[in-house]
Amino acid sequence: MIVKRYVVQEMPEAIAKIRKDLGKNAIIISTKKIKTRGFLGFFGRTAFEVIAAAEEEEKKANDHFKGGQAFTESVQEEAIRMKKPEAFSARGGTERHEEGQVEPEKERLLQEVQQLRSMFQSFLLAEPSGVPAVARRMQKTLLANGVDESFALRLIHKGMQHIDDIENMSEQAFREVVQAIIQNEMGGRLAPSPITGDSRVVSIIGPTGVGKTTTIAKLAAHQVLHERKKVGLITSDTYRIAAVEQLKTYADILNIPLEIVYTPDDCVQALQKFSEKDLILMDTAGRNYTQKMPVAELHPLLHAIDPDEIYLVLSLTSKTSDLETIIANFCEIKIDKLLFTKLDETSTYGAMYNLVQKFQLPASYATTGQNVPDDIEVLTPESIAKLIVGENQYV
Ligand SMILES: Nc1nc2c(ncn2[C@@H]2O[C@H](COP(=O)(O)OP(=O)(O)O)[C@@H](O)[C@H]2O)c(=O)[nH]1
Ligand SMILES: [Mg+2]
């Protein structure tokens, strides 16, 4: 990390010098108005003191914007990879370390990320005069929408780097730039996807009351009515009598069978009964998955069902920190996709972006109300990006 101090008469002069010395990815840490002393203390003038910093790597890659950006991103990504449970990193990854035993190299990277983060913060928050108003407003929107501070800063930073003339850019135009960046990040490997044609057995898991059963009813209705599939339902939610009745009601309306399972053996038998079905949706009991124990209790049943896909249902009305704890607790279970519910009951959607990025798990559907079967939609990179930048709302 190189840190330099500049004293200049005008800010543009500083920017030009910083770019030349430290490269395009240099960061302004602070700007301060100072008085310079003139001849014998007279004729003092107002000037600016600018402190800027850059990674050494970036300096070497001076003027190679892409190289510099890739470096910053690789550090970020490394940090994210470190935070997420190993089971998610590469299904069956072998790298294991005892809790709290972080490798020195990783520790160094983590520290650097934290440094960069606080530098961005001072850049964007403490010295607003150095940041174009459109970028500041976008940052506020992202934070108000629940996007993690570090992710918001990264998005703004990326957005500003994609633009030559940000001073003359409209708020709407900058929002579209950030939207496009999010859309891109939420695409590819992380692109949301619905139940695919080759998935035959799908298990739905998640905390209490998030809308698992209602969502299964919506999904089943769609598959029966639109996809013309032969659907069977299984539920292991025998915890509450009402839960079985709730799903049975939907099964009756759709005229599809429901099997209730208590043990792994029941699961095997249910699957045999449904051998003719195109799609089997399995409901499970909601438990307090902020604790590890209830997660472990799911194991035997899921093992017996051996689903093609597991969807973890999360309500956007929950606190992001709790959602993170829940996903982390599921590290022993191979979750395939996240499914977000109750978008109609919140005006902050940032958690969708945070969780997909942090845990590198794609989203799938979003549910937007209690009506069965209508209040559900398949998410897309575009629909998520629009929600995140405040272009779209459900409430
Ligand atoms: N507002 C809103 N309510 C929902 C949504 N999905 C489910 N619910 C309601 O949340 C409550 C719990 O749903 P349920 O399917 O029983 O949750 P489960 O315990 O996870 O199976 C019910 O009152 C549902 O009508 C949604 O997308 N929006
Ligand atoms: Mg239920």
Tokens of 298: 């799911």
CB-CB contact of 385 with 356 (8 Å)? no
**pLDDT of 365 over the 60 cut:** yes
Q: Which of 208, 214, 326 to probe ligand 1 with, by most ligand atoms within 8 A of CB?
A: 214
pLDDT for 222: 96
Q: How far apart are CA 344 and CA 63, in angstroms?
A: 46
- DSSP secondary-structure letter at 372? T
**What would the mean pLDDT of 272-283 be, rounded to a whole number?**
98
Place 173 in a pLDDT band, splitting at 50, 70 and 90: very high
Report percent pLDDT > 70 for the chain: 79
**pLDDT of 180 over the 60 cut:** yes
**What would the mean pLDDT of 302-314 be, rounded to a whole number?**
97
Place 293 in a pLDDT band, splitting at 50, 70 and 90: confident
Domains delineated in the chain:
195-388 (3.40.50.300)
pLDDT for 238: 87
Atom index in ligand 1 nearest the CA of residue 210 equals: 20
Atom index in ligand 1 nearest the CA of residue 345 equals: 1
pLDDT for 265: 97
Average pLDDT, the chain: 82
Q: Which ligand is nearest to the CA of 237?
A: 2
pLDDT for 284: 95
The sign of the CA dihedral 203, 206, 208, 210 is: negative
Give residue-wise pLDDT tens across range 10-64. Answer: 777 777 788 888 887 777 776 777 766 555 545 566 777 777 777 765 444 443 3
**pLDDT of 81 over the 80 cut:** no
Out of 128-132, 238-242, 353-357, pick the least confident. 128-132
User: Ligand 1 within 6 A of 317 CB?
Assistant: no
Give residue-wise pLDDT tens across range 131-160. Answer: 788 999 999 999 999 999 999 999 998 998
Nearest to 371 by CA among 214, 219, 223, 242: 214
User: Ligand 1 within 6 A of 368 CB?
Assistant: yes
Give residue-wise pLDDT tens across range 101-138. Answer: 556 777 777 777 766 665 665 555 544 556 788 999 99
Q: How far apart are CA 45 and CA 27, in angstroms?
A: 26
Q: How far apart are CA 179 and CA 15, in angstroms?
A: 27
Alpha helical stretches, state H, the chain: 11-22, 56-60, 65-83, 86-89, 104-121, 133-144, 149-161, 171-185, 212-225, 241-254, 264-273, 292-305, 320-329, 350-359, 381-388
pLDDT for 121: 57
Residues in a beta bridge with 259:
234
CB-CB contact of 322 with 290 (8 Å)? yes
Residue 85 CA, ligand 2 centroid: distance in Å = 27
Residues in a beta bridge with 204:
283, 311
